Structure 1
Amino acid sequence: MGRRPGSRQGCAARTWLHRAGADGQRRQRPVRGCPRQQLAVGGQHARFDRVPHRSTLQPRRLDDPGRRWTDVASRRPRGRLGRGRVRRHAGSNPPTDEPRRPDHPPQPAPWRGGSRRGDLARRRRCVADQPSRWDASSRNERLARGVPDLALDLPSPTDGGRTYTFRLRRGIRYSNGALVRPEDIRRALERTLIMFRDTYYYGAIVGASACVSRPRRCDLSRSVVADDRNWTLTFHLRRADPDFLYTLALPTAYAVPAATPARDAGSHPLPATGPYEFASYKPGRVVKLIRNPRFRVWSADARPDGYPDEILWKLGLTPAAQVHAVETGRADVAFDGVPPSRLTEVETQHASQVRDNTQAGTTFLFLNTRVPPFDDVRVRRAVSYAVDRGAIVRALGGPDRAQATCQILPPNFRGYRPYCPFTLERTAAGIWQAPALSQARRLIAASGTRGARVTVWIPPNHRPEGAIAVVLLKQLGYRVRAKRVGDYYAKIGDSRLRIQAGVNTWFPDYPAPAAFLNAMFSCGAFRPGTGSNLNASEFCDPRIDRAIARARTLEVSDPALASSLWSTIDRELVDQVPVVPLVNPKHVDFLSPRVGNYQYGPQWPNLLLDQLWVR
């Protein structure tokens, strides 16, 4: 959806203040001369006032123009749309400018399982920029495309895929007035390598490994060459990396001033390049973003202007409290979604305020292909035949919370073609129908593994799926123990623990098939004895590896052929069953009646908060 037409002139917007008095009633200070416009978003809830303004984009309304819009609640900060304040409630995570260790992912939502995604994305997204990013107008992952951001264009690699030269935009300034220079992007990557102590994203850059092993001597000036005369930035890689442009669109490449130290900025955020800048941060209480007065729109696709004048995150509300805040008019968006216990009520009483989207993620039961009994493909296939995916959907709250799947790639993702061989009745539609217990029991009998001991590891955010998996394996004749683990995500990456099975959800770092299939199932993804193994199934098939490598190479030269090849790889992995796909989670956003221009983008965090507006 595009922007709302209107003028930014002739109307001085004021913030609406909401206070609960002793009688429980809200006290409000009105806006003079302007229509009331507020948005609340975040981990808890938020409100704002704004004046509509003109945009470089043509309006594309998906909602009724006559609707009245309102506040948002979530565990993330809230924002203002246009000229006014957006208040939003969030969880306890700070608005850090820093990258997170990839082996310690945050858990902002119950679906957030095995992704390496850091917390900074959801807060820095409104204030920071990198060489490229995903088109803000893309509405699903299948259509997502990379567009230049700080760069003028996306370069084609030279030297056999080992050299990229970016021409950067001139005249962009930070919120403190300093000029954004080519070396600032290099510094961002140095800080990422030093603070992550991991080469996962940028290991192809010459010298990246040295930055990780000797962080105090980290210097990428020979491999990431900044030319202040021609305003270019040239990357030299030690090997071709087909995903390099994707990783440069991640928050880990947000430009920072070249003198920025390689340590956590704490409660003193770094200067901004985007439409907003950090105004204040009170740990555990509130985060406030205000308009960056030095921002100008240089690319409507990559970096459109925002609507709110302020984004105010109040930290610390549960999803249920966020929903209540929207219902009572204290918030505009329940950013963390609607909990299952409230879903029926919300959909019945506030149907026009609900937006549900299938997320670009897959929940699955991983099976260790190197540990009995799951080192036998017949056993893995038996589990996929027998699992009742419909029961899992019901346990998670019904079809508005999840949809059954037999595949690794989610719907609306490039390379996805419906395919389900493990169902009671196979159809041309490739959709799961019902469990096939008789086929499963025949495979178990043929494997001779009935009666083996199996331990299923279950994290706190996947207990319904874990409980169903335990019952299923017992039905198949195994002696099963459920192991509920608090620090689950720090342990499943350690192959030395010989974990047999566990429940997880994977959300890719960027909307490309490689971020699923290469990241989790390539031989290189299996990192034994490191504690940071992403390939929990310990799966390795050289033939599939070669196909993955070819598909990644084709992404640049022939995207259509690459997509077809990714579909084939997805099906082959489904047949090999390193994981048993269960469901694709859905996210339900709950909006106040005043909120408009709702947009759900291709990259997490998907709700484009800075594009919301109210009246």
Structure 2
Amino acid sequence: MRRWRAEEQCRRRQYCGDVHRPELGRRDDSKDVRQPSDRVRHRHRLPGSRAFVHPPDGATIVPYLAKELPKVSADGKTYTLTLRKGLSYSDGTPVKASDFPATIERDFKLDSPGVGFFANIAGADTFSKTKKGHISGIVTDNAAGTITIKLNSPQGDFVNILATEFAAPVPAKTPAKDQSTTPAPATGPYMIQSFKPNKGGVLVRNPKFDDSLLGGNVPKGNPDKITIDIISDPTIALQRVINGQDDWNYHQPPPDRLGTIQSKYADQYKTYIPANLYYFFMNVREKPFDDPNVRKAVNFGIDRAALVRIYGGLGTPTENVMPPTYPQYKKLNLYPYNLAKAKALIKGCNCASTPIVIWNHDRDIDPKATAYLADQLGKMGFTNVKQKIVNAAVYWTTIGNQATKAQIGFADWFQDYPHPLDWFDVLLNGKRITQTHNNNYANANFPAINNQIDKLKKEPLLNAKINAEWAQVDKQVDQNAPWAAFLNRQFIDFFNADMDLTGSCYTNHVLYTFDFALACKK
């Protein structure tokens, strides 16, 4: 949750003072976006890192540091960008075309969870193994400002990938180590002035930002200063906003406070549903979940409506990988709640005594979901079920390390960009399984699904035919049951009474949710 405090009176729809934002710490332990503290999941993108192209509303890509959108060759394998002239980082260093390959190479050197996005670039596979030399498929000309990227095969989502923070350039000289406490210079309207892990940070205006150079594709922002404080207790965070100490609550309100918020503070909150999925992964390499019937039993044995209630009723039950906002979505209902059928499947596997450890982190309502799962596994017939709750700061890297051998556990996903590949290729393509920082927690590796993902990856456009094929992949995943998907969650943004929530002052970005850079006071 993040706290805002104005230190001087400002006129309506501007915010001239200091903005304080107490923030949930589970995914902000590193402010170097290449670092593995959080795969993606950067639900709130800092308004400092910007890429060559940019999704201002999350769904439409526009040129930012580049003069225009990439030029793509007829065979779909070569992308060419040209830098705008006169650009510099917040420290005055000129932005150069050669910063791009250095940035991608830095991603690999850091073992960033984003490197999988760039695996299709020619030479990236060799560089990922040696960390020496350069990626041969990226050629730049600083004098002309051009960047040419050669892919091994066509890739329909590559322009989206170029708009992610993993592709946002930093100066080529930036060290290949975590820069959280000595932030790299920025190209956006703000820069990170300071950051202290597990405590907070400060963002201030980038003195080198000039929106006239960028075609008006990024607003200047309203606050002059944004202070981030990390506060882990959602009840305390909520009360501080109610008291007027803080301006916005990143935390989701505790379920027992929802009624009060809706009745007493109806004009101080907004609800929204980002493209997200909450699910239980089942590691197909580990017993008993190497047995597909056991995985199907888990799907039959959880009541998804009950799990929605655990989250305060804010959400809808689901079995699908893709969220219902996607045009490729076709509702699946292969596993209606049937505890008797789940019991029969477990009885048939002769595995009821197999020790099971359920993994989860210690934040938000999520531990209650795995507590429910543990109870249901017991009802299905398993006799040795335990939970392993670990610190949220290390949870994702822990379960993403093959040495952990996590059998089953909680996971969620928030889109990096609106394309099916961000779900299936990143999370379920067996060819992208890694030893560490693995996003495929189930180690799902089904050849037919892998091959279909790879086939569809080459499609340059999403049309009705391709959308139907993605819907079929969704069904194939459900049939193989590496997950028990259960929830598309709804969220609440809660503000104190001084905040203006009208017009552009409240902008909820498709990818990064509330845009705090546009916040206003009444």
TM-score under structure 1 length normalisation: 0.75
One-letter code aligned to 2:446: D
CA apart distance, 1:161 = 3.3
Say if 1:535 and 1:137 are closer, same or farther in 2 by CA, change over 3 A.
closer
Q: Would the aligned equivalents of 1:183 and 1:226 in 2 still touch at CA under 8 Å?
A: yes
Superposed CA RMSD: 3.0
Query: 2: CA distance between counterparts of 1:130 and 1:156?
Result: 16
Are positions 1:600 and 2:520 aligned together? no
Q: CA deviation at 1:289?
A: 2.3
CA gap 1:570/1:162 in 2 versus in 1, 3 angstroms: same
1:568 aligned to which of 453, 459, 472: 472
Change (3 A) 1:207 1:122: same
Tell me how far apart the structure 1 counterparts of residues 326 and 225 of structure 2 sit (CA, whole Å).
Answer: 33
Please say if residues 133 and 146 of structure 1, whose CA atoms lie closer than 8 Å, have aligned partners that are also in contact: yes
1:455 and 2:356 are equivalent in the alignment? yes
The one-letter code sitting in structure 2 at the alignment partner of 1:393 is V
Which digits, 9 at most, give the CA deviation of each residue in 1:184-213, with x for residues without a partner?
222222222222267423223334345444
Structure 1 residues 177 and 211: CA distance shift in structure 2, 3 A: same
Distance 1:351 1:373, change over 3 A: same
**Could you tell me whether the CA contact under 8 Å between 2:3 and 2:19 is conserved in 1?**
no
Query: Is residue 2:344 matched to residue 1:344?
Result: no
Q: Structure 2 vs 1, CA of residues 269 and 515 (structure 1 numbering), >3 Å: closer, same or farther?
A: same
Q: 2-side partners of 1:460 and 1:95: how far apart?
A: 17
The DSSP-based 3-state class of the residue aligned with 1:321 is helix
Match of 1:506 among 394, 413, 417: 413
Q: Which residue number in structure 2 is paired with residue 182 of structure 1?
A: 97
C-alpha separation between the residues in 2 aligned to 1:165 and 1:334?
Answer: 41
Are 1:43 and 2:6 an aligned pair?
Answer: no
Alpha-carbon distance between aligned partners in 1 of 2:418 and 2:276, rounded to the nearest angstrom: 10
Change over 3 Å in CA distance of 1:482–1:46 after alignment to 2: farther
> Given the superposition, is the C-alpha separation of residues 377 and 160 from structure 1 closer, same or farther in structure 2, using an over 3 Å criterion?
same
The structure-2 alpha-carbon separation of the partners of 1:592 and 1:299, relative to structure 1 and needing over 3 Å to count, comes to farther
Equivalent runs, 1:145-156 vs 2, <5 Å: 145-156=60-71
1:440 to 342, 345, 348: 342
Could you tell me whether the CA contact under 8 Å between 1:359 and 1:586 is conserved in 2?
Answer: yes
Give 2:16's aligned residue: 83
Report the identity percentage.
26
Structure 2: distance between partners of 1:91 and 1:303 = 26
Instruction: Report the Cα offset of residue 384 of structure 1.
Output: 1.6
CA distance in 1, matches of 2:321, 2:177: 37
TM-superposition CA deviations, 1:8-41 (whole Å, max 9, x none):
xxxxxxxxxxxxxxxxxxxxxxxxxxxxxxxxxx
Match of 1:399 among 313, 328, 347: 313
Among 25, 40, 47, which residue is 1:117 paired with?
A: 40
Q: 1:608, 1:126 → 2: CA distance?
A: 9
Shift of 1:566: 1.6
The structure-2 alpha-carbon separation of the partners of 1:495 and 1:195, relative to structure 1 and needing over 3 Å to count, comes to closer
Distance in 2 between the 1:369 and 1:267 partners?
39
Q: State the one-letter code of the partner of 2:354.
A: R
Q: Aligned match of 2:431 in 524, 541, 560?
A: 524
Offset from partner CA, 1:115-144 (integer Å, 9 cap, x none): x1276x846x3122111222x235xxxxx2
- The residue type paired with residue 487 of structure 2 is V
* CA positional deviation for 1:383: 2.4
AA paired with 1:129?
Answer: R
The answer to whether the 8 Å contact 1:46/1:333 transfers is: no
- CA gap of 1:404–1:98, structure 2 versus 1, over 3 A, is closer
Residue 465 of structure 2 corresponds to residue 549 of structure 1: no
1:137 — aligned with what? 57
Q: CA deviation at 1:48?
A: 6.3
SS of 2:236's equivalent in the other structure is: helix
Superposed, 1:201-212 pairs within 5 Å as: 201-212=117-128
Query: Does the 8 Å contact 1:50/1:308 carry over to 2?
Result: no
Give the match for residue 292 of structure 1.
206
Mapped to 2, the partners of 1:368 and 1:94 lie a distance apart of: 27
| CA spacing shift, 1:600–1:302, aligned 2, 3 Å | same
> Which residue in the other structure is 1:418 paired with?
331
Distance 2:192 2:406 in 1: 43
C-alpha contact 1:357 1:587 (8 A) present in aligned 2: yes
Structure 1 286/544 Cα, relative in aligned 2: closer, same or farther at 3 Å? closer
SS of the residue 1:181 aligns to: coil
Task: Give the letter aligned to residue 599 of structure 1.
Answer: T
**Is residue 49–residue 308 contact of structure 1 (8 Å, CA) maintained in 2?**
no
Moved more, 405-414 or 193-202: 193-202
Contact 2:3–2:245 (Cα < 8 Å) also in 1 = no
Q: Deviation at 1:519?
A: 1.6
In 1: Cα distance, 2:66 partner to 2:304 partner: 45
Q: 2: CA distance between counterparts of 1:442 and 1:98?
A: 46
Structure 1 regions of 5+ residues with no counterpart?
1-41, 53-67, 70-80, 106-115, 139-143, 424-434
Amino acid at match of 1:601: H
Q: Matched residues in 1 for 2:152 and 2:202: separation? A: 42
Name the CA distance, whole Å, in 2 between partners of 1:315 and 1:371: 36
The corresponding residue for 2:150 is 236
Q: Tell me, yes or no, if the aligned pair for 2:34 and 2:112 is still in contact at 8 Å.
A: no
Question: How far apart are the structure 2 equivalents of 1:275 and 1:299?
Answer: 11
Q: Where does residue 540 of structure 1 map in the other structure?
A: 445
Work out whether residues 186 and 224 of structure 1, in 8 Å CA contact, stay in contact via their aligned partners in 2: yes
After superposition, the Cα gap between the structure-2 partners of 1:574 and 1:259, relative to the gap in structure 1 and judged at 3 Å, is: same
Q: 1:87 touches 1:314 (CA, 8 Å); kept in 2?
A: yes
* Amino acid in the other structure paired with 1:99: R
Distance 1:498 1:129, change over 3 A: closer
Q: CA deviation at 1:306?
A: 1.0
Aligned 1:318-337 pairs, distance under 5 A: 318-337=233-252
Task: Give me the TM-score of the superposition, normalised by structure 2.
Answer: 0.87
User: Kindly tell me: are residues 276 and 369 of structure 1, through their superposed partners in 2, closer, same or farther at Cα, counting changes over 3 Å?
Assistant: closer
Give 1:385 shift. Answer: 2.2
Question: Residues 308-352 of structure 1: CA distance to partner in whole angstroms, max 9, x if unpaired?
Answer: 222222344632222122111122211223232432222221122
Distance in 2 (CA, whole Å) between partners of 1:490 and 1:318 is 23
SS at match of 2:469: helix
Amino acid paired to 2:294? V
Quick check: 1:272 aligned with 2:190?
Answer: no
Query: Partner residue of 1:428?
Result: none
Q: Distance in 2 between matches of 1:197 and 1:450?
A: 38
Q: 1:197 to 1:340 in 2, by over 3 A?
A: closer
**Structure-1 residue corresponding to 2:519:** 612
Q: Is the 8 A contact 2:62 2:69 kept in 1?
A: yes
Q: Which residue of 2 aligns with 1:100?
A: 35
- Determine if contact 1:175/1:272 at 8 Å carries over to the other structure: yes
